[in-house]
Every structure is written in C-alpha cells, then in structure tokens.
Amino acid sequence: MRAKAGAAGKKKKWSKGKVKDKANNAVVCDKATFDRIMKEVPTYKLISQSVLIDRMKINGSLARVAIRQLKKEGLIKPVVHHTSQLVYTRAIAAEAE
C-alpha cells in the first residue's frame, strides 16, 4: 500500500512539446522568383498550392496567384478543382499525344 502511495505522490513532469521551425516564406514576388516559377513549375508532374509553397518558399497567396497565371498562359492544366485544394499537372504531356 505504501509503495503505491509513493508512486502516485510524485509530481508529473510535462514535456515542452515539439518545437516547429517557423517558415520564412516570401510574401512579395521578386523578378528572380517569378522567372524561376515560370520556368520550373510547368515541368512538375503534380502542381498544387502546397507544392509551390514547399519548393519555391513563397506564401499561399503568391502560390495561388502563380497557379492562376500559369493556367492563364496555358502552361498547366487542371486535374481537380475544389475550393480548398486546386491540383494541376503539366500541359506538355497532352500536347505530345
């Protein structure tokens, strides 16, 4: 009985939790980033807002604008169009067929 009381009497030590690195993504698109997006993104097999954020280190609003621009120029084509997630693919594969 005493052993049980001693074990339960110890104070719990809570962990601090995992510390996530803060993303330092660009909020303004400069000429170099814009050129890189226009050159590299149309070659990706899967293009989404998340992919652009991860690979280009830009924020979500810039990623959406870039996707709209690429679609307008006909460099990418839609696969799934949903309000929360837009999925595109390269338009080059369709031209080859």
The enclosing domain of 42 has a CATH number of 1.10.10.10
Beta strands 86-90 and 47-48 are antiparallel
Among 72, 73, 69, 67, smallest CA distance to 89 is for 67
| Domain with 62 in it | 32-97
Q: Considering its fold, how many domains does the chain have in total?
A: 1
Return the structure tokens found at 2: 């005493």
pTM of the predicted model as reported, rounded to 2 decimal places: 0.70
Hey, what amino acid is at 21?
Answer: D
The Cα 34–Cα 70 span in angstroms is: 11
pLDDT in tens, 12-45: 788 778 888 888 888 888 899 999 999 999 999 9
Return the structure tokens found at 93: 């594969």
7 part of a folded domain: no
75 part of a folded domain: yes
97 part of a folded domain: yes
24: which residues sit within 8 A by CB, 6+ positions away?
A: 57
64 part of a folded domain: yes
- Given a cut of 90, whether residue 95 has pLDDT beyond it is no
